[in-house]
Structure 1
């Protein structure tokens, strides 16, 4: 019993990491994966760049909105000079920053490749809230209690439970090394951790756990970063 409790607690502590990132694969030269406690200013100082340059290279409209697990470019694209200028070493010999860009940028990026994953709608209903990247990390779909919730793509259940505050009864599916989907506020969960599920398979029933109305909160994450699920969903 004690061992079971310990495992459950460990699982809850790992859940935030599952939501924040699909993995911890190393990033290429000139890139950095955001860690807990990081700020853009801290990352810029560590890599001898300006906040403005890093924000521009990564198309960040809000420098305060970086997320744990997000991969950022921290060196000028294509070896171009940073607008902030090269930072001289302490020795004053004029050498450029050690974070100079490689001659060829690695493929790793925080922007999802277009059409790199195809999803089906996880539930029938009315979309009452859409992704904005700041206040909403996914889309909310409202329908009647018990409405079937289905897997948006084939994958493996990596979390099934209610250990994350604000999500209620939650499922997280891992589809490949890059993509996760999350299904929150369910009335009942119909699959277990470690189970493989097929695209379109019923995995839960819509409910209102940890929220004030019946709905499904649906998230898509690419390399640890929340992206707009609607771009991978067919038009309605």
Structure 2
């Protein structure tokens, strides 16, 4: 009986040793959101309590602040500030960001209390961020053609979110309307050297594939001002890709440029 027990113990030790060898070198799953090594304790991402609310956006794989700003009609710098982010490159899938301006703080109505019981300062509460409603004046904005050249490709909501205008390297690219530069750089894949202008709370315009950018972020721009020179950055030919976005959504520029 003692010998049988010893053999059973030896078999158990051998099994444990083999189990240890089989796990040697195996890595834990990369997407492990456990807290402090405790499985089942999932970390809550910033802003999760606002998911689905008007004026907020849930980050998707591949998103950047530039893309989120353009898709929501906002400057990426404003989104950075509204969400108190230190690094624009550090956003996470599932994180919820404010993409509409916060409303001003408003005083909370309180019942009358005696001076002896009054606090040192009155509490305040932030109202929910309202979504901007386009006014008739904002919708009546006049856009001019941003370049002279042949139309290569028209607007297609699923395939081409703007117009492609042909030309030669160095041809002038003009601002379609008065506005402010909210982005100038090459940080958005597929657009090359890109300029985004914000015209009001309703409209943005985008100018892509430039050779040279002639303006800087936060610069005020006048309608018809030369802002870039045409090129083929991140494109298969020399062209200007031009978009008009109404509250972040691409619309057919041809419907806005006719008659200008």
TM-score range, shorter chain: 0.5 to 0.7
2:84 maps to which residue?
A: none
Contact 1:115 1:232 in 2 (8 A): no
Is residue 204 of structure 1 aligned with residue 228 of structure 2? yes
**Map of 1:98 onto structure 2:** none
Residue correspondences, number = 145
Flag as ranges the 4+ runs of structure 1 deviating above 2 A: 106-109, 112-117
The CA deviation at 1:116 is 2.5
- Cα displacement (A) at 1:23: 4.2
Query: CA distance change for structure 1 residues 212 and 113 in 2, over 3 Å: closer, same or farther?
Result: farther
Aligned partners of 1:119 and 1:232 also within 8 Å: yes
Counterparts of 1:175 and 1:188 in 2: how far apart (Å)? 22
Q: Tell me the secondary structure at the aligned position of residue 64 of structure 2.
A: helix
Shift of 1:222: 0.4
In the alignment, the residues of structure 2 paired with residue 114 and residue 213 of structure 1 have an alpha-carbon distance, to the nearest angstrom, of 34
Q: Does residue 216 of structure 2 align to residue 165 of structure 1?
A: no
CA–CA distance in structure 2, aligned partners of residues 156 and 108 of structure 1: 20
> SS where residue 15 of structure 1 aligns?
helix
Instruction: Summarize deviations over 1:31-88 as a string: whole Å, max 9, x none.
Output: xxxxx98xxxxxxxxxxxxxxxxxxxxxxxxxxxxxxx8xxxxxxxxxxxxxxxxxxx
CA RMSD of aligned residues (A): 2.7
Task: Give 3-state SS (helix, strand or coil) of 1:17's partner.
Answer: helix
Post-superposition offset of 1:117: 2.3
Using the alignment, how far apart are the partners of 1:171 and 1:15 within structure 2? 11
Give CA deviations for 1:10-31 in whole Å, capped at 9, x if unaligned. Answer: xx9310112101149xxxxxxx
Aligned positions of 1:167-182 closer than 5 A = 167-182=191-206
Provide TM-score, normalisation by structure 1: 0.56
Q: Which has the higher contact order (CA 8 A, sep 6+)?
A: 1
TM-score with structure 2 setting the length: 0.51
SS in 2 for 1:22: coil
Give the C-alpha shift of residue 132 in structure 1.
Answer: 1.7
Residues 129-140 of structure 1 aligned to structure 2 (within 5 Å): 129-140=153-164
Once residues 257 and 241 of structure 2 are traced to their aligned partners in structure 1, the CA distance between those partners, rounded to angstroms, is 15
Deviation at 1:118, TM superposition (A): 1.4
The reply on whether 1:18 has 2:69 as its aligned counterpart is yes
Superposed, 1:80-99 pairs within 5 Å as none
Q: Is the 8 A contact 2:208 2:241 kept in 1?
A: yes
